[in-house]
């Protein structure tokens, strides 16, 4: 348990975290456990998930692993059933699983389907199963891991940009529609975080698009540690704050974008040309 008096308290809260075999998801689960929560972790990569569950649980019986696809209605139902059976009704859902690529106009329908399913529709499907119960009980909390790409754009990846904009839009809609009925919503929008997604996921396909996407993120600001991002996320949830921007400059970029869209696009075009020359 953490001894920092400023740490948020999630004692006996029941949380589900998707995409939690590593990266930001595993860090969120770790931070939740230290703050007193009991956690169901889920991931497509079952072997890595089991390892992470063993490390996080350490014999405390506060972690349960459910392997599977976060965008599957059936797997979401299994996560909720496991949480309810082992710990009690779900208080918090962290829709964190995500994928990135270096896709451009040549991205196939299959690539678009995958990105939209994992980065957006997984959130919709989880909310569809959880929010009615939260409204009935007057409490519940949904945390969307979107991205700064959902507020700005992801140079080098069309599918990531669009699916993350969708995630931000859905989180906003959820907050507006259900906030008055006790449902809290936060939306995490970081730039670079030191995880597999940034190290290799973005650049895994489609020629130089992925390398450009990775360079765009790493050249735009600091690359943060997953645990730092997780701690900032839990602090924001404890305050019931919607927008979480661990990179402060994202807010400034978003302000500039909204105040003069054409100027912002011209600036992004210049930034992109420096990147395509350098990769
Ligand atoms: N790393 C960054 O720079 C960064 C920046 C902004 C936002 N994000 C977002 O943070 C979230 C977490 O990513 P990360 O950076 O920790 O990367 P990561 O690759 O370490 O973690 C993502 C996890 O999601 C899992 N996953 C992928 N598809 C899945 C599916 N269909 N069902 C269940 N699990 C699935 C992967 O196996 C992996 O363990 C993602 O939504 C990502 O888009 C990351």
pLDDT: is 220 or 158 the higher one? 158
User: What is the band of 2 on the pLDDT scale with cuts at 50, 70, 90?
Assistant: very low
Distance from residue 115's CA to the centre of ligand 1 (Å): 11
Per-residue pLDDT at 221:
85
CA atoms within 13 A on the CB side of 151: 25
Kindly tell me the sign of the dihedral angle through the C-alpha atoms of 34, 40, 46, 51: positive
14-278 — its CATH code? 3.40.50.720
Q: What is the DSSP string of 174-189?
A: HHHHHGGGTEEEEEE-
pLDDT, one tens digit per residue, over 190-221 is: 999 999 998 886 765 555 678 888 888 888 88
- Write the residue with the smallest CA distance to atom 38 of ligand 1: 19
Per-residue pLDDT at 142:
98
Q: List, in order, residues 6 or more apart from 5 with CB less than 8 Å away.
A: none
Claim: this prediction has a pTM higher than 0.85? yes
Per-residue pLDDT at 1:
40
160 is catalytic: yes
Per-residue pLDDT at 204:
59
User: What is the band of 276 on the pLDDT scale with cuts at 50, 70, 90?
Assistant: confident
Any ligand 1 atom below 6 A from CB of 96:
yes
C-beta contacts of 5-8 below 8 A and 24+ residues apart: 7/34, 7/35, 8/35, 8/234, 8/235, 8/237, 8/238
In angstroms, rounded to a whole number, what is the distance separating the alpha carbons of residues 194 and 222? 10
pLDDT, one tens digit per residue, over 124-157 is: 999 999 999 999 999 999 999 999 999 999 999 9
Strands 63-67 and 140-145: unpaired
In angstroms, rounded to a whole number, what is the distance separating the alpha carbons of residues 123 and 48? 22
Any ligand 1 atom below 6 A from CB of 154:
no
Q: What is the length of the chain?
A: 279
Kindly tell me the sign of the dihedral angle through the C-alpha atoms of 171, 177, 180, 182: negative
pLDDT, one tens digit per residue, over 38-86 is: 999 999 999 999 999 999 999 999 999 999 999 999 999 999 999 999 9
Distance from residue 95's CA to the centre of ligand 1 (Å): 10
Cα distances from 158 to residues 180, 185, 197, in angstroms, run 34, 26, 16
Any ligand 1 atom below 6 A from CB of 224:
no
User: What is the band of 4 on the pLDDT scale with cuts at 50, 70, 90?
Assistant: low
The residue among 143, 41, 132, 21 whose CA lies nearest residue 92 is 143
Per-residue pLDDT at 206:
52
Distance from residue 45's CA to the centre of ligand 1 (Å): 11
Distance from residue 66's CA to the centre of ligand 1 (Å): 16
User: What is the band of 7 on the pLDDT scale with cuts at 50, 70, 90?
Assistant: confident
In angstroms, rounded to a whole number, what is the distance separating the alpha carbons of residues 258 and 89? 40
Average confidence score pLDDT of the chain:
94
Residue 71 phi, psi (nearest 5)? -95, 5
**Percent of the chain whose pLDDT exceeds 90:** 85
Strands 92-95 and 63-67: unpaired
Pocket test for ligand 1, best of 28, 71, 197 (most atoms within 8 A of CB): 197
* For the chain, the helix, strand and coil percentages under 3-state DSSP, each to the nearest 5: 55, 15, 30
Q: What is the DSSP string of 187-210?
A: EE--S-BSSHIIIIITTSSTTTHH
């Amino acid at each position: 348990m953490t001894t920092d008096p400023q740490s948020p308290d999630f004692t006996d809260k029941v949380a589900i975290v998707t995409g939690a075999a590593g990266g930001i998801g595993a860090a969120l689960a770790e931070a939740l456990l230290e703050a007193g929560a009991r956690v169901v972790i889920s991931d497509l990569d079952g072997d890595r998930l089991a390892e992470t569950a063993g490390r996080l649980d350490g014999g405390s019986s506060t972690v349960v692993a459910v392997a599977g696809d976060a965008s599957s209605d059936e797997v979401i139902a299994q996560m909720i059933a496991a949480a309810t059976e082992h710990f009690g009704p779900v208080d918090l859902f962290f829709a964190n699983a995500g994928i990135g690529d270096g896709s451009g106009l040549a991205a196939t329908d299959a690539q678009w389907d995958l990105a939209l399913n994992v980065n957006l529709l997984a959130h919709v499907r989880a909310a569809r199963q959880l929010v009615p119960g939260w409204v009935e009980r007057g409490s519940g909390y949904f945390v969307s891991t979107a991205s700064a790409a959902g507020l700005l754009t992801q140079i080098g990846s069309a599918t990531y940009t669009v699916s993350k904009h969708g995630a931000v839009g859905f989180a906003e809609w959820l907050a507006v529609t259900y906030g008055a009925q006790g449902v809290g919503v936060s939306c995490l929008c970081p730039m670079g975080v030191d995880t597999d997604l940034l190290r290799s996921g973005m650049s895994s396909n489609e020629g130089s698009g992925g390398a450009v996407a990775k360079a765009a993120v790493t050249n735009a600001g600091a690359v943060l540690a997953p645990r730092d991002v997780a701690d900032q996320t839990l602090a924001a949830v404890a305050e019931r704050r919607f927008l979480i921007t661990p990179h402060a400059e994202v807010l400034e970029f978003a302000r500039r974008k909204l105040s003069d869209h054409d100027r912002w696009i011209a600036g992004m075009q210049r930034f992109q040309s420096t990147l395509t020359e350098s990769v």
